[in-house]
Amino acid sequence: MVKERMVELLQEHFELKLYEARAYVALVAFGVLTPAELVSVSEVPAPRTYDVLRSLEKKGFALSQPGKANKYRPVHPKNVLEKFIEDWQVRVKEELEAKKKAKEELLELMTPLIETEVPKYGVERVWVVRGIRNSTLKTQEMLEEVEKEILLADNGYIAANLDEELTKAVDRGVNVKIIVPKQLLPRIETSKLMDYYKEGKLELKVLEKIELPMLICDEEVFFALEDLAARYFNYETQVWIKDFRVVELFKGKFNEYWEKAEKV
């Protein structure tokens, strides 16, 4: 129903609670209402009407007229909704600046902790990472820290979504080899990766199928465990290993793919 949709939009986008949204819709529909009248024309419970109307007034959605029986009328929707958006834009801008400042302060405070990471956690060589967001963050971290070599046998996500991180590594002098499935090629033909390939800055090949997608950065390897159900729900399990012996094994598999792959 139209009324329910109006209530839903007011709740979802204009920070009104359920009874507040119902009361405001009723005020817009009837113009002026007393608390008693509001009960009869809306689904706002009688014990809540005064609190709800006072809250609407405080939020700028209603005006009150004191008297023997207080009356309330709505602020015109165009005026109050536009004012809400203007205030929201200011608030969001301020919150964004506050978060940026908090980030800088946290990085400054955490720098001494980061610098002691090796002696504290140097024995940890294997981590499990779950979920597309966490996997992306770990991949970005690897691409930002790599110094010598990137070997990527990609099933589609990294080359298509992290091309900027890959090309930045190339700009730092990192040697990059990429293998992608043939069906992915159209998605990266207009990307910066393809420009770098044409300019001879990185190597790129295609393969019909990559059974074991992997990312090797120097002495680190990151790969996904096969789990179709987890992949469907974007909760795929990835394994990160930092061990030159394991990396050498994966490099061997990558080289097998490289020999079978075709030039673009």
Instruction: Give CA–CA dist 190/29, Å, rounded.
Output: 53
Note the pLDDT of residue 114. Answer: 67
Q: Does 123-263 match 2-79 at the fold level?
A: no
Q: What's the pLDDT at 159?
A: 81
Tokens of 203: 């190597």
Both tokens assigned to 243: 């061990």
Cβ atoms within 10 Å of 229's Cβ, excluding its own: 8
pLDDT of residue 89: 94
CATH of the domain spanning 123-263, picked from 3.40.630.10, 1.20.1730.10, 3.30.870.10, 3.40.50.2300: 3.30.870.10
Tokens of 105: 């302060």
If DSSP codes are grouped into helix, strand and coil, which group holds residue 69?
A: coil
Work out whether strand 214-217 and strand 149-153 pair parallel, antiparallel, or are unpaired: antiparallel
Residue 46 makes CB contacts below 8 A (sequence gap 6+) with 39
8 Å CB contact between 161 and 191: no
Record the pTM: 0.58
Location of structure tokens 């090629």: 185
Measured CA to CA, the distance from residue 19 to residue 183 in angstroms comes to 52
**What are 10-61's pLDDT values in tens digits?**
999 999 999 999 999 999 999 999 999 999 999 999 999 999 999 999 999 9
pLDDT of amino acid 121: 46
- Name residue, tokens 């529909």: 29
Residue with structure tokens 């700009």? 171
Strands 203-207 and 214-217, by their bridges, are unpaired
Question: What CATH number labels 2-79?
Answer: 1.10.10.10
Please report the pLDDT score of residue 232 as a whole number. 58
- Please state the domain extents for the chain: 2-79, 123-263
Residues in the chain with pLDDT < 50?
Answer: 117, 119-122
Tell me the H-state helices in 15-162.
18-30, 35-41, 49-58, 77-115, 117-121, 132-145, 157-161
